[in-house]
Structure formats: structure tokens, C-alpha cells
Structure 1
């Protein structure tokens, strides 16, 4: 791939353009808002000048509802040898293109499984996709050259290619992305009119659950409008679980001992199922989940504190597998939770104590 045209210079399109430009590909940028394309160009993502002739690959980074229109227009103009889109749903756009009678041998649907709560070219980074899955949904009509161009795109962005059927992809992202986003938003919505005294008690748990609720509602309306059926099916199941959980909780309020036992059994079952599902979430580098031990360290909110902790862990010969930070309420301090292999926990604890760190159990 020597040349590419990115149509749509939001977060995903500009991030892909930045990655391609860094690998020596000449990238042309286009957007329905010329100012946005100029912004992406100013960031070093490419040029907003129209290419002289067909490029090797056109990358359509438009909202799902517009993908088919943008692709059809680009194909009609013959702007590239191959065409991909990066929309978060795949089945609908492909069927729209088929209904228009277009030759889809030069097209392959793709979806990089990466993003941020922020949108637009100013939120883009060249490493947005690094190490993340990038789904490819070829059909029997997809030309081998086009598949290879798409794989080259994924490689330049340092992502991990995953080949799936388009409809299977849409069911999968409904489960792991679209439905969780709505549930997160519903939980966060409980906070909108909550008493200030209650909101001040928010800890890491509520922050984890509601983090993705900060995303742009307009973007998510586009996404959910393109994949409503699978998401609705999953929420129907969630609603059934909620109804059963409410019944169990009401039973725990009962004066009847048998009902309380029944309620406790119901709550225990939903928690058990939650445990069983959570352990299936892939662990570090996509491998099977590992059980780590946590070493909790109290730190001041000052520059260089985290760097010192990691440096001291390195001197002790301990690799920190994961890290979380829980900020103290009303204090300029926080609790850094260092996840390490169980056999390394005692070594790290002793080393950090020796260097003056305050360890918390």
C-alpha cells in the first residue's frame, strides 16, 4: 500500500490516517466538513488535497447509517483499487450495498475494536489500535488483493486481525460493547438527580461501571440505530434478570423465613452467574484470565509518585501485571493497587516497605 484515502476524519479515521502516515503511506483526507479534514491534516494525518487518480485503498470512517451511501459514491467515482469501512456494525451496510447491485469484490467490511470517550480528530492518536482486535468480514466475493490490502492496513495500525462473519460480528459487539454501554448509561442516569451527599460517596466501583457512559450520545445513537435487534434481544434477557433480582430482594424484606431464604438463594444465583461470566473475559494480551494478588500502596497526589513506585518494583525484580488507582475523597492522596503474580506479592511488599512506602491491606 502506497496511497490511501480516508473518508471521514473523526477519531477512528484520523487515528488510522496518523498510523498509515507514520508508516510511509501517502494519505489523502476527505470529510463532509472540510474544516475537520484540515484539522486532521494539521495534526500530520495526511493532506486534504484530492488525489490525482485512484489510491490503493479507500477507508470509509462514516457513521453506520451513512456507510453504504459513502461507499457507493466512492465506488462510483472509482477512487480506489480497494474499499473498506470501519463502522461498528457490518451486516446492515453490506446488505445495503448488495441491494444497490454493486460489485463487492473490491470491498471488505472491517471494525477496529478500539475507541475513546472523546471524538473528533483532536482526540486521535496513531497508537489507538495497537494490540487491539480488528475484525475483518470478507465474503466469498471479496478479492484476494483487497483482503491483503485490509490486512496491510491492520498491520500498519499494529492491530490484531480477526476474521468473522458479518452477522456474527454484529451479535458479538451487541454483547460486549453496545448492550454494556446502555447498561452503563442507565446506571449513570441514577446519579443525575441524586443527592450531593450520596454522589460524594462514589468510589472506584461506580467509576468503573459508569466510565463509558461519558461517550458522545450522538455517536451512540448512530451505532445503536444500526444494530437495534441484537441489542434489544440482550436487554430483554437483562430485564428478565432484573425482574427476578427485584423479586428476590423484596423477598429478603419479608417477615417470612422461607421467603427470605428463597430471596437469598435468588441473589446468590445471579451473583454466581456473574462470577462465571466475568472469568471468561480475556486476560492480559488476550490470554486466559490469571489470578493476581494486589499490593495496595498509599501515595500523595504529587508528580513522580507513580514513576517511583514502578522504579522500586523494577529494582525488586517484580513485574506489575496491572494497576488501578482509587483516589481518596477530600484528600490529595490515593490508593495505588498493583496487581502481581501471587509469588511476587510478598517480595514487592517487603521491597516497598523498605523504601518507605505505606502499604495498606
Structure 2
């Protein structure tokens, strides 16, 4: 039997926009037993998302939705949210956009009726990928991830509860905050890091091939998110320009100080220690205190099943892997796998893996 839909989502949910986020919402809700309908300006996206199991294509005669989830480009959020508030007068409407204050102002201008405005509650799942489109979607995209729910002053309490039920059904952890608080937070934790990655990655474009041949996991980690869609990020930056401008000015001051220190040979420790303090401030798993971890480096042959065998051995040894990274050495038939484990477990894992025939780099 299919699972029973969670309380608060016992009616039909319409997902408007089935790219990465919208399709992932549809997949997660369908898995939870929710009746999901899909719409998108590009019919091929609907066909793809529906084929993946994210829901059925929306059409005439569908039940009236209890909830509409808008997943469209940031520049269109206000327009699309307002259109669904008017088209579905009984439905709660939310969106999954990465900026909340500017769309709210746009919605309020387009839907001045207080009763309609009460049914809108913005939200933002803190999950995504540098990949886009429905084929990049997964039902597990939001599991264990924060999902900001950002009611405004007129939002009805029952509408807020419905949006929080959406986040819970997708496996996310709800974080309630105001739209302005949200925009300041994502400027610091998402938008600024993306722009710093873009600046770093830009220094690689056109670099001599012999220099790029030395690229390791560090540069890949720092630049990975810079591969995101430029058109999408142009809209995000424009929508959150106020919060970002303040942070970019702070970074410019730090960069001027760094440049002066490099030129003059002045001590770099204050800036380097500030970086270490920032890394330590990032919450650990499930939002808790970060767990002190140590790396265990293991050479893994580039053959099918070897990585699975390594994980299985770590499980049999009884050591939990907190994180994992893989670095492929150019020209070598092995990859160097970095297993992050608790400090107190690192030496136990090293010794036990060596006894099982693994090459462990100490």
C-alpha cells in the first residue's frame, strides 16, 4: 500500500516549475504519499519529471490544490506567486527561491488583498547542486538539510504550519526566520562564498596547462560551486544586493590588508587565524557542535567495487565516517581517499585498515 500523506498535506500539492528543486520536491512528496501535480513553461520538463515519479502533469479537472510550491527563477518569483494566489483562492502558496525580501515586496504590490497575502509564506531549502534541470533531481536532496520558512507579518498561522509540513515531508529541518533575517544569513553563508569561488575559479581560466596539471583536491573544493548557472546567479545577486554589498565591502577591506601583508612581509597570522575560527564556527552534523575529526588517507585502486569494499571494512572495524573526499592523482591507477573520522578513532582505523591490506598514508 502507498504511504498515507502526512498531516497538513492531505490534499493535492501543485509544484509550479520542475527544475532541480521543483522535481526534487515532487519526488520527495510523492514518496511520502502526497498527490503531486506538476506544471512548467517547458512541457519537456514536465514529461521528464513525471517520468521520474515526481507527480502527474497538471491539467483541467485536477483537484484544487491545498498547497502550491513555486520553483522558478528569482526574477519571476513575485509574478508567479501572485498568479497562483489569484488562481487558487483556497491554497497556501510558498516558493523555494534563495532570496525572500524582494519577492515579498513584489507579491504585496501585485496582491494587495490582505486575505490573499495571508496565504503566502516564503521558504528556502538549503540544498542544491551546480547541476540543474529535472534529471539532476533526487528525492533525498533535502534530507537532514535546513529549510528556512519565512513568514511575513500578515502570514496566517495555518499557512505557516502547512509550509513547515512541506519541509518535514521532504525530510528537512525547519528553521523559522523573517525574510530580512534570511537574506542576511544566505548572503553570508551562500551567496558570498559562491562569489569568492567565482573569483578564484576565474584565475584558472586561460592559465597555462602545465600549471593546471598541478590542480589538487583543494582547488576543486574551493571552486566547485563556481560551476553554477551564471544567469541564475545574476538574478540572485541582484535580488540580494543590499546584504551582499555590505559583506563585499568587508571582504575588500580584508583583501587590502592581505595584499599589504604579502607585499611587506607583515605577519599573516591574524587573517589566517580568523579563517580557522570561521571554519570552527560552522555547525556540525544536524546543526550541532562540530565534531573534532582527523583525516585517514587510503590509496584505493581505480576498479569497480573497491570504494564499496573500503566503506564496508570501515563499518566492520566499527568506525563511523564523518565525511569523505576523493583525489585522483594524474597518471596513476589509484585514487587517494580521505576519510574524516573522530580524532579518537583515527589511529584505530589506520591500523585496522593496514591489517586488511590497504595502503594507508601516514
- Asked if these proteins are the same fold (TM beyond 0.5), I'd say yes
In the TM superposition, what is the alpha-carbon distance from 1:80 to its structure 2 partner? Answer: 4.6
| Residue of structure 2 equivalent to 1:116 | 129
2:20 counterpart of 1:11? yes
Judge conservation of contact 2:65–2:88 (CA < 8 Å) in 1: no
Contact 1:10 1:61 in 2 (8 A): yes
Q: 1:79 to 1:19 in 2, by over 3 A?
A: farther
Any idea what the Cα deviations from partners look like across 1:268-289, whole Å, max 9, x if unmatched?
2111111111110111222111
Distance in 1 separating the partners of 2:22 and 2:89: 17
Output the CA distance in 1 between the equivalents of 2:271 and 2:168: 41
Q: How far did residue 229 of structure 1 move?
A: 1.6
Q: 1:52 to 1:312 in 2, by over 3 A?
A: closer
Contact 1:321 1:340 in 2 (8 A): yes
Greater mean alpha carbon deviation, residues 123-132 or residues 25-34: 25-34
CA displacement at 1:53 relative to structure 2: 4.2
1:20, 1:157 within 8 Å by CA — same for their partners in 2? yes
Alignment partner, residue 96 of structure 1: 106
CA contact (8 A) 1:58 1:79 kept: no
Which residue of structure 2 aligns with residue 243 of structure 1?
256
Structure 1 residue 280 corresponds to structure 2 residue 293: no
Larger radius of gyration: 1
Residues 323 and 336, structure 1, Cα contact 8 Å, conserved in 2: yes
User: What CA deviation, in whole Å up to 9, does each residue of 1:72-102 have, x standing for no partner?
Assistant: 1111122652111111000111112222314
Distance 1:145-1:298 versus aligned 2 partners, 3 A rule: same
The question of whether the paired residues in 2 share the 8 Å contact of 1:298 and 1:333 is answered with yes
Residues 1:230 and 2:243 aligned together: yes
**Quick one: structure 1 residues 289 and 169, their matched pair in 2 at CA, closer, same or farther if it must change by over 3 Å?**
same
1:144 aligns with 2:124: no
> Structure 1 residues 280, 329: closer, same or farther in 2, change over 3 A?
same
Kindly tell me the number of residue pairs found equivalent between the two proteins. Answer: 349
Q: In terms of mean alpha carbon deviation, does 137-146 or 90-99 score higher?
A: 137-146
Q: Tell whether 2:55 aligns with 1:46.
A: yes
CA distance in 1, matches of 2:306, 2:153: 55
Q: TM-score, normalised by structure 2?
A: 0.93
- 1:287-306 aligned within 5 A: 287-306=288-307
Task: Identify the residue that residue 85 of structure 1 maps to in structure 2.
Answer: 95
The question of 1:186 aligning with 2:199 is answered: yes
Are 2:74 and 2:232, in contact at CA under 8 Å, matched by a contact in 1? no
Partner of 1:257: none
SS at match of 1:21: helix
What residue number does 1:359 align with?
Answer: 360
CA contact (8 A) 1:64 1:87 kept: yes
Instruction: Work out the CA distance in 1 between the residues paired with 2:85 and 2:316.
Output: 57
Q: TM-score, normalised by structure 1?
A: 0.93
Deviation at 1:312?
Answer: 1.6
1:195 aligns with 2:208: yes
Moved more, 269-278 or 160-169: 269-278
Match of 1:163 among 176, 185, 190: 176
Look up the match of 2:4.
none
Aligned residue for 2:194, secondary structure, equals helix
Please identify, of 168-177 and 39-48, the stretch whose mean Cα deviation from structure 2 is larger: 39-48
Give the direction of change, closer, same or farther, for the CA distance of 1:192–1:80 in structure 2 (3 Å limit).
Answer: farther
Alpha-carbon distance in structure 2 between the residues aligned to 1:310 and 1:164 = 38
- 1:36 counterpart (41, 45, 62): 45
Gaps of 5+ in 1: 253-262
Q: Deviations over 1:296-353 (max 9, x none)?
A: 1112111111111122222222222222222212212121122222222222122111
C-alpha distance in 2 between matches for 1:184 and 1:342: 29
Secondary structure (helix, strand or coil) at the match of 1:242 reads helix
Tell whether the 8 Å contact from 1:53 to 1:79 is kept in structure 2 after alignment.
no
Residues 13 and 69 of structure 2 are in contact (CA less than 8 Å); yes or no, is this contact kept in structure 1? yes
SS across alignment from 2:122: strand
Give, in whole Å, the separation in 2 of the partners of 1:317 and 1:126.
29
The alignment's C-alpha RMSD in Å is 1.4
**Structure 2: gaps of 5 or more residues:** 1-8
Contact 1:55 1:79 in 2 (8 A): no
